[in-house]
Structure 1
């Protein structure tokens, strides 16, 4: 197959693209990412495989999103004897058109065109080889699978000598025989070896017969089990009837004993109620007596506590008075410290002001000098820039002038060498006109010149001569004139009269550039802290502040002695500032210390005042609580005196102890009859009677159900059904064994023929391996070897005696081996069976040295085959000498 032309319209993001491919050799189609390189191969597959109305996901994904139109794909293809143009439009107004140009002209549309192309490809193209001869981005490192290619198999058969060893039709007969064996095998087995067809049907029939026979046997066994169970249940029901009568009698006896125990337990409960009432009365009397004792003790304790609180309140009042005196003294000391701090602050402010005035004067002097330097360098820089702007001569133009001057010198030398020379010697004084210009010669003078053009020599009244130079001289003179004109034009653009002036002007330009650079750097350094305008603002601000300070100083000077009129020295001013700072710091520390001391004394006064108030409050509260306690005790004594309350508590306590003794006696008597054992015996008798009743009812119901089931079984004829099922099973087993023998024979024959076919296929592994190694040595070196299995897959690579499995190789080595294997297959396949090798953006893992060697491989196989490379990095394939390059536009 050959792809001659591919046209895409409104395909994904591609508006229109038309590419014509060469019939043979390597073609590199390059373009940036997302320009639709991979989409071209996808479009070709959809064109050949999908119908125009297909609803497949792959077809829906290529619909353009920028316009409501259908995607169109058109291809010019030749395969076998056919050459045709095939076009499809998908999605919107779908249509299919086919024009066959050879071997005879055909025109078809719709499904007829689609079916015709499929038939042509099935007839002339090895589809498995077309799919295998691709290196895609997603699987560029996967091993090449060429095992399904009939075209490659035929080519390897020829290389391996198959055609010489057997008749021409032997390969076809062998293939036909294997196909017949596979067809017979598929009558009984699926492709994965599971039973199917007749054998699966026979096995299913046998399984169904086995299941039916087993089911009928189980039903007959069920009848026999029901008869046996009916007899057993009848005997069991008679025994359960006697057991039920015995458990009823035992239950009545247990109930009578339990009633006697219940009566005795009622007497115990009544005695316990009486004893509880007596105990409650004794408890109330004891509680009242203990409450009376507690009230007497409470009154006594509160009276003692009031004496202690009186002493504490007096002590707290004295401590508060002492703290108040301390606070007054601390406040006075803090006020003195604040006054000292204010005086130190005034001294510090005056020192700061004096030092600031001194600093302003120094800063003003420094800024004034800096502004002067800024203005001077700015003027110099501006002058240099104006002069530099007037110079139009650049480095490139100077280089042009130098080159033109050298060309003039070279052309002048050549003209001088090639020109004719005229030499005149005067025998007497004479005037000669040479090229129209007068030349006076005295006797014995000599005149000579090179002649590059037609020149006339005239002697008035005596001689007229014309000197014509040869062709070389005219040519060199023309070169000289051209070089001179070029130099003159360059000097004119530079504004110079000659080369020397141009060079002097160029040197002056360099000096000006250096000056501009120097003054620019100086100005950058001077303006690092601000430009000239900012410096002027700072100077104005300093002068205004200096004037204000001078006015203030003059005002203060009117109130001071004449000894202070002189300006202090800077050292004295800074020493005074340091002393003022130290004095201010000391005063601030003293003020802070006295302030904190005053605050602490204030806190102490507040704390001691709070304590005194709390002591006084506690004393008053204790007196109030004592009055309440004495009143409560007097009220209780008015209701019952202390002696009467004590006597009642003793009487109630004796009555409670007697009631408890009666309850203990009755409880011991009740426990002597073992009530738990009586209750357990009653419960046991009830459980036994309930269980016997339930077993009897259950057995009776089961016997009734078995009897009913036996009546139903008698009308079903289960024995006859079992005999029929066993007969069907025998027939099914005979049929299964017959089909099994045929299936096993087909399986054995297929296994033997497959082993024979694998043995034959191993004969053409060597030619394929040889071709892979021939091409691979161009990339990996002379020590390169590969291991190829019967499916023509590379299993391992050997390099310098070291063998590495294919899956353990690096991504770059896998990619290179995959391309070499596909190119080897393309080189072996016959010309009429070849298909394009498509490589989509591969060799991304390959170093520059390997890329150069891979280029040799492409050049080696770029004969009659067609290799299409799609890439976004065309420089990877720049070393392929025979490649044809097609560049796609960056915009879709």
Structure 2
């Protein structure tokens, strides 16, 4: 496969770019960062793999942002006997077009074109090799894996002397074995397909046999339960008849006990009435006695309250005198607080004015520094504005100087050289200029134009350079004109002036940045206007004369003394506040105590008045009760009611004793137990009878289901599933064994053709690393370690530059080994960035060795890395 031409239109930030690639050798495509070098590889992959209507993320990301159009990719490619031009437009008005140029002309479009290209590539290109032969920026140091390349495998078979001639129509034996293995196992070795289905069928048959056996066991269990339930029903019926007879006897005994209970209830009613009459007469007698005691008690309470009122009045008078004294002391403490507060405010005013004066001094110095920095910054900016040289123009000048030097060197190599050796003193004319030579002197000059050497009056010799010299001279003049134009654009007379101006511009830019940083640091989060306004405000608050800051009016104010005075005033004020608070609390306590004493005296006077009223009321109530019945009459009535109550209680006790002798609790318990037993046996008989009916019904239903026949059919189906399972088991295990054996033999074969690949890697690697270079390669053709001067280092432990170089050498070795018709382009994207200058020269020699018939495309932002490649074709990209 070879890439002849690639055209990108409206692809990412690329409006249009067309590149023609030579069929052989190394192509170095250079350009600045983000000019779109890596996009070329991405575009080629999208062209070959994605459909024009694809909605994949990779396709969406290449849509141009500068125009509402679709991205277009066109490539001319050779693959085997085919050569075709393939174009796709994505996003808007998507389309695909294919023109096959050889072996016979075809034109297709749409999905037909996409499928045709895929089939041609699958037929002629080793796609695994196409992906492996890339060195990308993101994985330039990763170990290359060439194990999946059929083309390389065939080449290594040939190199190892084990080439096999195949017709190309029959599938490889390994593939057929893998295909057979895939019928029975997944990639991870789990059963699949027929093998998994047979296993699943056997498991299902086992489950069905178990289910049918369980259903047959249900029938047997139902027959057993029917016999047991029939016996249980007969037994419970006999027990229920015995329980009914016992219940009848218990009910008769309970009726006799109920008669005694009714007699006891009547006796209790009579006794209760007599008791209530006796209680009422006793209560009347007790109330009369309570009224007499109440009158005596209230009289005593009135005398005690009169004494307490006199004592409370005396305590109230004492509390009032204490309260008045506390109020006087609290007022004096408040006056002291006001006096010390005035002293504090005076001292604080002096300290504030001194602080404002210090702040104004600091602000004045800060504003002065800002003004000086701004003046210096303005001067730097003014001088910088006068310099027209820029980074871009200086790069143009330097590139032009390099081009002039390169053109001058080429012109010197291609120019004709004139050498004159004088045998005697002689004067000649060269290109119209006189040249005088002494005997034995030599004179020489290089010329790229027609030059006449004239010996006046004797001889004229004309030197005419060939066409290459004239072309290099034209190139030199064009380079000099480009340099002059670049100097004019930069505003400099010559290269030294331009470089001096560029140096001065860089110094001024650094000074500007430094001054800007200084200005930002001095300003902080403030603005100059804010600082000036604050300074003006502070200056406005300062007195016109320094003497006005004096604290005493005799001398200038001392900040330390002012702050000491403020501290003393604050301390005095705080002590005065503490004393004031203490006196205030004392006054509050005295006021509260006075209130308590006043309230207590008032309450006692009210209690005395109430007690006197209650004593009079109690005396009146006692006299009213005595008017209705005398005290002796109430005592006689209480005694008679007591005798009647005792007689009624004795009758009730006789009936209760007879009831207790009949054991009513035992009779009630026997009746309850007989009732529960009869009810329980009735419920058990009904439950067993119902369960017996259900079992009988189940047996009738089971008889119609044919469960035994279902079990026989399930067992027959399981036998069939087991036979099929065993048959597939043997085939699956045979395929697994065959695949294991073939894999072991394939690995052994691979180990034999590792040697040709390792030999080729070491042959190319010794150009870079020296004659002691050796590598260890595993069966997957990956480099495991490198040996130099007898020291072996694992691949992953090598430096980034060494791994990158080995990766390129391994790919170049694969390109050398692969047959010419199976080759693919080797793509290298901005590699060798970790490589020193000496190794770059040696890597260039490697590229020269393998340039040959293959196609190597190098993408780089630094073409000097690949300057050592002798026959490289250079293409420069511009944005």
Normalised TM-score (structure 1): 0.59
C-alpha contact 1:787 1:797 (8 A) present in aligned 2: no
Q: 1:833 matched to which residue of 2?
A: 822
Cα 1:810–1:584 shift into 2, 3 Å? closer
Alignment partner of 1:169 is 2:157: no
Q: Once structures 1 and 2 are overlaid, which stretch shifts more, 124-133 or 168-177?
A: 168-177
Separation (CA, whole Å) in 2 of partners of 1:15 and 1:786: 47
Alignment partner of 1:761 is 2:750: yes
Q: 1:788 matched to which residue of 2?
A: 778
Separation (CA, whole Å) in 1 of partners of 2:758 and 2:593: 111
Q: 1:699 matched to which residue of 2?
A: 692
Deviation at 1:89, TM superposition (A): 1.7
Deviation at 1:640, TM superposition (A): 5.9
Q: 2:681 matched to which residue of 1?
A: 688
Q: 1:752 matched to which residue of 2?
A: 741
Separation (CA, whole Å) in 2 of partners of 1:52 and 1:749: 44
C-alpha contact 1:9 1:15 (8 A) present in aligned 2: yes
Deviation at 1:21, TM superposition (A): 5.0
C-alpha contact 1:29 1:868 (8 A) present in aligned 2: no
Cα 1:17–1:730 shift into 2, 3 Å? same
Task: Specify the SS of the correspondent of 1:44.
Answer: helix
Task: Specify the SS of the correspondent of 2:756.
Answer: helix
CA displacement, residues 41-66 of structure 1 (integer Å, 9 cap, x when unaligned): 34322321233344556545655566
Alignment map for 1:529-544 (pairs within 5 Å): none
Separation (CA, whole Å) in 1 of partners of 2:570 and 2:741: 113
Cα 1:824–1:180 shift into 2, 3 Å? same
Cα 1:102–1:548 shift into 2, 3 Å? same
Give ranges in structure 1 of 5+ residues lacking alignment. 393-467, 476-523, 550-566
Separation (CA, whole Å) in 2 of partners of 1:83 and 1:22: 15
Alignment partner of 1:860 is 2:846: yes
1:240 to 233, 241, 255: 233
CA displacement, residues 499-520 of structure 1 (integer Å, 9 cap, x when unaligned): xxxxxxxxxxxxxxxxxxxxxx
Deviation at 1:257, TM superposition (A): 2.9
Cα 1:133–1:254 shift into 2, 3 Å? farther
Alignment map for 1:81-120 (pairs within 5 Å): 81-120=81-120
Task: Specify the SS of the correspondent of 1:703.
Answer: helix
C-alpha contact 2:26 2:858 (8 A) present in aligned 1: no
C-alpha contact 1:279 1:653 (8 A) present in aligned 2: no
Task: Specify the SS of the correspondent of 1:69.
Answer: coil
Q: 2:243 matched to which residue of 1?
A: 250
Deviation at 1:750, TM superposition (A): 3.9
Separation (CA, whole Å) in 2 of partners of 1:757 and 1:582: 98
Alignment partner of 1:25 is 2:14: no
Cα 1:81–1:612 shift into 2, 3 Å? same
Deviation at 1:577, TM superposition (A): 11
C-alpha contact 1:261 1:673 (8 A) present in aligned 2: no
Q: Once structures 1 and 2 are overlaid, which stretch shifts more, 20-29 or 663-672?
A: 663-672
Separation (CA, whole Å) in 2 of partners of 1:579 and 1:735: 109
CA displacement, residues 590-612 of structure 1 (integer Å, 9 cap, x when unaligned): 98799678756754663444234
CA displacement, residues 251-279 of structure 1 (integer Å, 9 cap, x when unaligned): 56347637855985894996999799999
Q: 2:604 matched to which residue of 1?
A: 619
Task: Specify the SS of the correspondent of 1:88.
Answer: strand
Task: Specify the SS of the correspondent of 2:120.
Answer: helix
C-alpha contact 1:255 1:682 (8 A) present in aligned 2: no
C-alpha contact 1:271 1:662 (8 A) present in aligned 2: no
Alignment partner of 1:307 is 2:298: no
Deviation at 1:5, TM superposition (A): 3.5
Deviation at 1:884, TM superposition (A): 7.3
Equivalent pairs counted in the alignment come to 705
Deviation at 1:88, TM superposition (A): 0.9
Task: Specify the SS of the correspondent of 1:162.
Answer: coil
Separation (CA, whole Å) in 1 of partners of 2:742 and 2:637: 124
Give ranges in structure 2 of 5+ residues lacking alignment. 387-433, 446-521, 523-527
Deviation at 1:129, TM superposition (A): 1.7
CA displacement, residues 392-449 of structure 1 (integer Å, 9 cap, x when unaligned): 9xxxxxxxxxxxxxxxxxxxxxxxxxxxxxxxxxxxxxxxxxxxxxxxxxxxxxxxxx
What's the RMSD between the two structures over aligned residues?
Answer: 6.7
Deviation at 1:6, TM superposition (A): 3.1
Alignment map for 1:483-882 (pairs within 5 Å): 599=584, 602-603=587-588, 606-627=591-612, 629-630=614-615, 633-634=618-619, 637=622, 673=666, 675=668, 679-680=672-673, 682-710=675-703, 712-713=704-705, 744-771=733-760, 778=768, 785-786=775-776, 788-789=778-779, 791-793=780-782, 821-822=810-811, 824-838=813-827, 848=834, 853=839, 856-857=842-843, 860-861=846-847, 863=851, 865-866=854-855, 874=861, 878=865, 881-882=868-869
Cα 1:674–1:793 shift into 2, 3 Å? farther
Q: 1:121 matched to which residue of 2?
A: 121
C-alpha contact 1:241 1:696 (8 A) present in aligned 2: no
Cα 1:889–1:749 shift into 2, 3 Å? same
Separation (CA, whole Å) in 2 of partners of 1:759 and 1:830: 23
CA displacement, residues 461-517 of structure 1 (integer Å, 9 cap, x when unaligned): xxxxxxx996999x9xxxxxxxxxxxxxxxxxxxxxxxxxxxxxxxxxxxxxxxxxx
Separation (CA, whole Å) in 1 of partners of 2:252 and 2:877: 113
Q: 1:158 matched to which residue of 2?
A: 158
Deviation at 1:707, TM superposition (A): 3.1
